[in-house]
Amino acid sequence: MQSTGGIIVKLNPEMHLSEKIFSKPEMIPSRYGYGEGLVELGEKRNDVVVLGADLTASVCANWFQEKFPERFFQLGIAEQNMTNVAAGLSLVGKIPFVSTYGVFSTGRAWDQIRTTICYAKLNVKIGSAHGGISVGPDGATHQALEDIALMRVLPNMTVVVPSDSIESRKATVAVAEKIIGPAMVRFGREKVPVITTEKTPFELGKAQVLVEGKDVSIIACGAEVYYSLLAAKKLEEEGISVEVINLHTIKPIDKKTIIASAKKTGAVVTAEEHQVMAGMGSSVAEVLVQNYPVHMQFVGIQNRFGGSGNPDELMNEFNLTEKAIINAVKKVLDLKKN
């Protein structure tokens, strides 16, 4: 447990979370973890190659390019072609990482991902950058708010949404070393709090119970994990015991952990920086409606496009901070009582 100004937050000691979560967490873009993961893989494996689409530095793929130029391929602004080239490279034994903004890597090239990669279960990895509204001034056209939905609907596709830079690195390495087949790793542009450590366990398909509670479960992914922890801390002041789960792997989903938490608390709030429709929250709802239905509330983008602005202002405008999560918790608890 960790004391925070008189409030007791029951952090799961097995998770080895950062001691600075509730004070001054280190702020690092999650895309840095993707770049670090690519370099780590490049140093360990000669079969890893990286493909870019004219946005190499923005997604930190240039880190790999600088160290392994002979294994980096710049395809220009031609994402559909890049995806097919990656498919071809996988057929000759390479592990290609397609690296660009999510609206292009998962949206523009969706047909190539579906028909060429997923249908044949090819070993292609997709770096889906600029995920969520916090992209900021680039605006709606560059904010990937639908990429989780687009990828999780495809058979054979693994979908991972890390919570910070450390987890992004671990996820990038894991999708190359632990699975053979299509996978997407989603990460953002702006700095986000580092909540995990090198000791924090990471296993594809295994959700992490970060805070143990009994009144309500908050299940989150990406940047919303941090806001969920802040919400849990503030709700403890009001005597509300919150369980916080980091669902970093959206597909395959950890049914066991989700069901167990719902049985314990009887109420669930999901939080994601993505469209509520067909996103992570929908995945959780599909699990619960078939196994253990409980009252639910969904925090996320509510059927609208993004916009240009300061990242913090956008997170507030689109109701994605701890305030929105706290309101959702109180609403679901009212439903639970009735």
CATH of residue 227 = 3.40.50.920
Domain that holds residue 315: 2-25+199-337
- Are residues 189 and 205 located together in one domain of the fold? no
- Are residues 158 and 270 located together in one domain of the fold? no
Look at residue 9 in the predicted model and tell me its pLDDT.
Answer: 72
- Are residues 17 and 39 located together in one domain of the fold? no
- Are residues 180 and 219 located together in one domain of the fold? no
Q: What would the two tokens of residue 32 be? A: 């840095």
- Are residues 59 and 150 located together in one domain of the fold? yes
Question: Residue 123: which CATH number?
Answer: 3.40.50.970
Q: What would the two tokens of residue 77 be? A: 């602004």
- Are residues 150 and 239 located together in one domain of the fold? no
Look at residue 2 in the predicted model and tell me its pLDDT.
Answer: 43
Look at residue 312 in the predicted model and tell me its pLDDT.
Answer: 94
CA angle 118, 121, 127 (to 5 degrees): 60
Look at residue 8 in the predicted model and tell me its pLDDT.
Answer: 57
Parallel/antiparallel/unpaired status of strands 191-193 and 27-29: antiparallel
CB neighbour list of residue 272: distance below 8 Å, 6 or more residues apart: 148, 161, 220, 221, 222, 224, 279, 280, 281, 299, 300
Quick one: CA torsion of 36, 38, 43, 49, rounded to 10 degrees? -160
- Are residues 8 and 130 located together in one domain of the fold? no
- Are residues 34 and 121 located together in one domain of the fold? yes
- Are residues 317 and 214 located together in one domain of the fold? yes
Identify the CA nearest to 186 among candidates 143, 245, 238. 143
Looking at 193, 221, 250, the residue that finishes a domain is 193
- Are residues 53 and 145 located together in one domain of the fold? yes
Prior bond of 252 cis (ω within 30°):
yes
Phi-psi region of 126 (alpha: psi -120 to 50; beta: other; left: phi over 0): beta
- Are residues 18 and 32 located together in one domain of the fold? no
Q: How many distinct structural domains can be found in the chain?
A: 2
- Are residues 156 and 98 located together in one domain of the fold? yes
Q: Give, for 34, the enclosing helix (H) or strand (E).
A: helix 30-44
Looking up tokens 């605006």 gives: 139
Looking at 173, 193, 213, the residue that finishes a domain is 193
Kindly name the residue from 79, 236, 272, 322 that is annotated as catalytic.
79
Looking at 193, 222, 256, the residue that finishes a domain is 193
Q: Is position 79 annotated as part of the catalytic site?
A: yes
CA atoms within 13 A on the CB side of 185: 31
Indicate the pTM of the whole model: 0.96
Q: What would the two tokens of residue 186 be? A: 């989603």
**224-237 helix and 322-337 helix, angle to the nearest 10 degrees:** 60
Tens place of pLDDT for every residue, the chain, 338 residues? 343 444 457 799 999 999 999 999 999 999 999 999 999 999 999 999 999 999 999 999 999 999 999 999 999 999 999 999 999 999 999 999 999 999 999 999 999 999 999 999 999 999 999 999 999 999 999 999 999 999 999 999 999 999 999 999 999 999 999 999 999 999 999 999 999 999 999 999 999 999 999 999 999 999 999 999 999 999 999 999 999 999 999 999 999 999 999 999 999 999 999 999 999 999 999 999 999 999 999 999 999 999 999 999 999 999 999 999 999 999 999 999 98
